[in-house]
Structure 1
Amino acid sequence: MHDFCFTIPYGLLLVAGGVIGYLKKGSLASLVGGVGTGLLLILAGYLSLRAFEKRTNSYFALVLETVTAAVLTWVMGQRYYQTSKIMPAGIVAGISALMTGFYLYKIATGGNHIPAKAE
């Protein structure tokens, strides 16, 4: 599976979560954090998709995805540790930890595997 297949939905989930957090609780931090990191991940996924269409890898996008997911894991993990609230801190920390592992796997295996060109 290619990184952009998971990164774009992951980014959209964060954007939606940020907007929902703002609408329900009036949390500007949720809005800025969710929308900011979500859009950053959507951008990275788009860069990776564009590179894949050109039959290459975007290691910049892969590193950006990895760093963003790792930072989210740390920040939301700390928030979960402090509050013990599953929603949203525990969920975002868990998903972000899984995504960090996936991105590290993609880096270790050389990025997206480009299929052989059909003759």
Structure 2
Amino acid sequence: MHDFCFTIPYGLILVGGGIFGYLRKGSIVSLAGGVGTGLALILAGYLSLGAFKKKKNSYLALILETVCSGALTWVMGQRYLQTSKIMPAGVVAGISSLMTLFYLYKLATGGNHISPKAE
């Protein structure tokens, strides 16, 4: 599975969650954190998709994805430990930790596997 297949939906979920947090509680932190991180992940996903279409790997995108998801795992994990609230801290920390492990796996195995051109 390619990283962009999960990164773009993951980014969209974060953008939606940030907007939802702002609309529901008026939280500027939710808006900035969710939308900012989500847009960075969507950008990284599109960079990776563009590189894949050119039969290349984008390690810059993969590193950006890893850093964003790792930071979210840390921040939301800390928030969950402080508040014990499943929504949103526990859910975002859980999803982000899975995504971080996925990105680390992709980095360790050489990124997206490009199949040789069939002729």
**TM-score, with length taken from structure 2:** 0.99
Partner of 1:34: 34
1:91 corresponding residue in structure 2: 91
Match of 1:108 in 2: 108
RMSD (Å) for aligned C-alpha atoms: 0.3
Identical amino acids, percent of aligned pairs: 78
| Partner residue in 2 for 1:7 | 7
Number of aligned residue pairs = 119
Residues 26-48 of structure 1: CA distance to partner in whole angstroms, max 9, x if unpaired? 10100000000000000000000
Question: Which runs of 5 or more structure 2 residues have no equivalent in the other structure?
Answer: none
Stretches of structure 1 lacking an aligned partner (at least 5 in a row): none
1:25 — aligned with what? 25
Q: What residue number does 1:64 align with?
A: 64
Corresponding residue of 2:74: 74
- The CA deviation string for residues 38-67 of structure 1, in whole angstroms up to 9 with x for no partner, is 000000000000000000000000000001
Per-residue deviation at 1:115? Answer: 1.2
For 2:52, the equivalent position in structure 1 comes to 52
Provide the C-alpha distance between the structure 1 equivalents of 2:108 and 2:32, rounded to a whole number of angstroms. Answer: 32
Residues 86-109 of structure 1: CA deviation (Å, up to 9, x unaligned): 000000000000000000000000
Query: CA separation in 1, counterparts of 2:59 and 2:33?
Result: 24
Structure 1 outlier segments of 4+, above 2 Å: none
State the TM-score, normalizing by the size of structure 1: 0.99
Q: Which amino acid aligns with 1:53?
A: K
Instruction: Give the C-alpha shift of residue 118 in structure 1.
Output: 1.1
Q: Deviations over 1:59-80 (max 9, x none)?
A: 0000000010000000000000
Partner Cα separation in structure 2 for residue 62 and residue 33 of structure 1: 20
